[in-house]
């Protein structure tokens, strides 16, 4: 369903099964569930899933302590960068632009590590990470636009206050 972009169906399934599965299963579901929620603008659901993207890594490691030794470091970076990306999107959506900016920076740092590993393997493996780099750039533009809106609103409030003090 993810590959077919059937977000509504995937979102419905994730919402149905999320309460029924244990932490390791949630760690596996979280990236798909967050993507579906994001595409459906289900911000409350997305917030639940994003929390498990980074925290879910602990459950994966507890379940398989040889995960990194088996050569899955780029998978860990991908999950973390995806978590940071979705976290940035959530914070931007809720107008928390300073936190969103921090999360964008964290996602970029993690994506750098991820891309270094993936580019050596193949272009196809690196493509998804490159798309996310572009999405981060677009998200930064949204954050900048949001910050400008707050600054304009604050400035308008300052002007209105000054005018009322002068009796205009």
What single DSSP character describes residue 21?
Answer: S
Do 117 and 77 touch, CB atoms closer than 8 A? yes
* Neighbour count for residue 148 (Cβ, 10 Å): 10
The pLDDT score that the predictor gives to residue 114 is 85
The pLDDT score that the predictor gives to residue 37 is 96
- For 34-84, how does the pLDDT look when each residue is reduced to its tens digit (9 = 90+)? 999 999 999 999 999 998 887 544 444 444 433 334 444 444 445 688 999
**For the residues 97-116, what does the mean pLDDT come to?**
91
Q: Is 1 helix (H, G, I), strand (E, B) or coil?
A: coil
Within 8 A by CB and 6+ apart from 94, the residues are: 43
- For 16-27, how does the pLDDT look when each residue is reduced to its tens digit (9 = 90+)? 999 999 988 998
Q: Is the pLDDT of residue 158 over 80?
A: no
DSSP assignment string, 93-109: HTT-HHHHHHHHHHHHH
- For 108-127, how does the pLDDT look when each residue is reduced to its tens digit (9 = 90+)? 999 988 888 888 888 888 89
**Residue appearing with tokens 């932490």:** 23
First vs last C-alpha separation in the chain: 60
Residue 65's nearest CA partner among 30, 24, 114 is 24
The pLDDT score that the predictor gives to residue 163 is 66
């Amino acid at each position: 369903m993810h590959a077919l972009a059937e977000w509504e169906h995937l979102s419905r399934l994730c919402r149905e099964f999320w309460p029924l599965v244990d932490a390791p299963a949630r760690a596996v579901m979280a990236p798909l569930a967050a993507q579906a929620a994001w595409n459906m603008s289900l911000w409350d659901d997305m917030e639940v899933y994003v929390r498990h993207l980074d925290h879910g890594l602990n459950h994966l490691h507890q379940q398989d302590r040889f995960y990194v030794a088996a050569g899955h470091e780029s998978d860990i970076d991908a999950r973390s960068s995806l978590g940071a990306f979705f976290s940035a999107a959530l914070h931007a959506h809720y107008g928390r632009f300073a936190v969103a900016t921090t999360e964008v920076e964290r996602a970029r740092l993690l994506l750098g590590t991820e891309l270094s590993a993936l580019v050596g393997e193949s272009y196809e493996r690196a493509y998804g990470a490159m798309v996310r780099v572009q999405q981060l750039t677009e998200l930064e533009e949204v954050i900048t636009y949001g910050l400008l809106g707050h600054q304009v609103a604050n400035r308008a409030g300052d002007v209105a206050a000054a005018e009322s003090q002068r009796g205009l």
